[in-house]
Every structure is written in structure tokens, then in C-alpha cells.
Structure 1
Amino acid sequence: MTEINQEHVWDMIEDINICMFITWDGSRQRARPMAHMSKPEEHAIYFFTDENGAKDDQLEKFPIVTLAYADQSQNDYVSITGTATVSNDRTKIEELWSPMMKSWWDGPQDPTLRLIKLVPEDAEAWDSPHDVVSTIKMAAAAVGLGKPDMGDSGKVRM
């Protein structure tokens, strides 16, 4: 069994490239898929955004954000809640820039490019078995032959 702790949560999200970035606009939640850059050594998760994005205004008023990660191939699921801020930190943007971002911005010097920094506060994770034997056990449980091992889950203070 794997203990669900901070380090394990960071490991789980490392290989999941896209998460659902969920904000509150004052009347309802808004979710959008976004690529993240996790930096556990900084206790931060970064996202590039456009200065004209609606989420930027939402974050100014309601900075608490939830990130939802899912890796169905590994049966790993993580939800992280934290406080997000938008900045124009050009040094950090330069550091985090990758050629993949050219699909949305001209380069790290693009004047519309901004950076969201999320500082995680807590997480919930489910690291379930992902091998054939576990699948067989779940199928057996479905027909009344015992309870399956559903893996490890837990809440973590980040």
C-alpha cells in the first residue's frame, strides 16, 4: 500500500499534463482544461494564461481554485485546492516557457502572456490498483465474490 502524503500527491500529478482548472465567478463554478507546470520544490503549480482571460478577473475576486487531475490509464485521481494569483513576472515566464506554448503566444515576451501561480493548501487523492489482477478482482466483487482492493485514498494537507 502506498501512503497518500504530499510527496505522493506531487508524484501523481507530475505525469498528468492537463488538469481541470476550476474557478468561481460569483454565481457558479467554471472549469477549463489547462496545462500545468508543477514545482514541488517551490510548493507551487503554474499555468500560463492570457491577460484577457475571464479566469483572471475571477481570480482577482475569488482566488480559491480547485484543480482536478485524472489519469485513467493508471487509475490515479487527484483534486487540489489552493490560492491562485495572476502575475506578469517576466523572469518566471521566461523560466517556465516551452516551445509548446507557441501555439497560443508568440513567445515568452508576448505582452498578453501572464502567469497563474497556485499555492496548494489541501488535496484528495485516489491511487487505485491498475493491473489486470485488480480488474479481475473488481469483476469478481461485482458478482458477489468479495470486496475488491480499491487502492489508497486520503486527504492531505499540502
Structure 2
Amino acid sequence: MARFCRCCRNFCHDFKAFAVRGNVVDLAIGIIIGTAFTNVVQSLVNDIITPPFGLLLGGVDFVNLTIKIKNFVYQDQPPVVIRYGKFIQTIISLLIMAFVLFFVIKGITKLRELTARKQQKEENKKIEISEEVKVLCQIRDLLAKQSSTEG
């Protein structure tokens, strides 16, 4: 029993360490924001983008665009309905999401490149030797040369 409690305690400790790590928290925040953003994009497509397209197509409501296939197997059942209007709205949502994510990832990549360049410049500055150190090195070399010719 004591071994089981120790094992359970170790598991709880490991799980806590995993859950508190930044990656898991970042992932959870990303999922929440992604869900909210998806809802906004769906509303944009359903309520703002597709109604004008429907108006241009002669007052068509995309949600009601369907193909009804008569049910040949069960004659007394209603027809099978293919809702291609909703599918078109989903494709538009996907394209908008892909477009936005492309620019987000492009921006993140640009920021990473800028950060990497800045770090590289800082490392190069650290490597550069100041003029005083260069002069001291020359004096050291001259003194070493002079002492070797005297000996």
C-alpha cells in the first residue's frame, strides 16, 4: 500500500510539473483564442459575406442551397438533402482562417528573425576587442619581442 501511495504521489508530482509548464498553458490559451476566433470568422461568413453574394445571385440564401435526392429505397421516408450552401460557407470560412493564419505565422517568423539578428549583433559586439585592449596587446607583443632579443 505504501508503494502505491508513493507511486501515486510521484505521478501527481510529474503531472503537476507537466501541466504547469509554459507549453501546456500556451496550448490551452491558443485553443481558447482559436475557438473564439473561429466563431467570429463563422459569423463573418454567415452574416456578412454570404448574404451579399446571395443577393447578387438573385436573392439566394446560402443556407438554403440544397439538393434533394428522392429516397428510392424507402419510399415513405423524406428525401435525402445535400446542403451544399453550408459547405460553401464552410469553405469560405476555411479560406479566411488559412489567410489569417498565414499572416500570423509570417509575422511570428519575422519577429523570430529580428530577434535572432539582434542576438547575433549583440554577440558580435561582445567579440569585438576595444581599442585599448588592442594597444595593450601590441605593447605586450613589443615587450615580449624586446625581452627575447635581449636574452
Same fold by TM-score greater than 0.5: no
TM-score interval w.r.t. the shorter chain? under 0.3
Structure with more strand by fraction: 1
- Report the TM-score when normalising by structure 1: 0.20
Between the two structures, name the one with larger relative contact order (CA 8 Å, sep ≥ 6).
Answer: 1
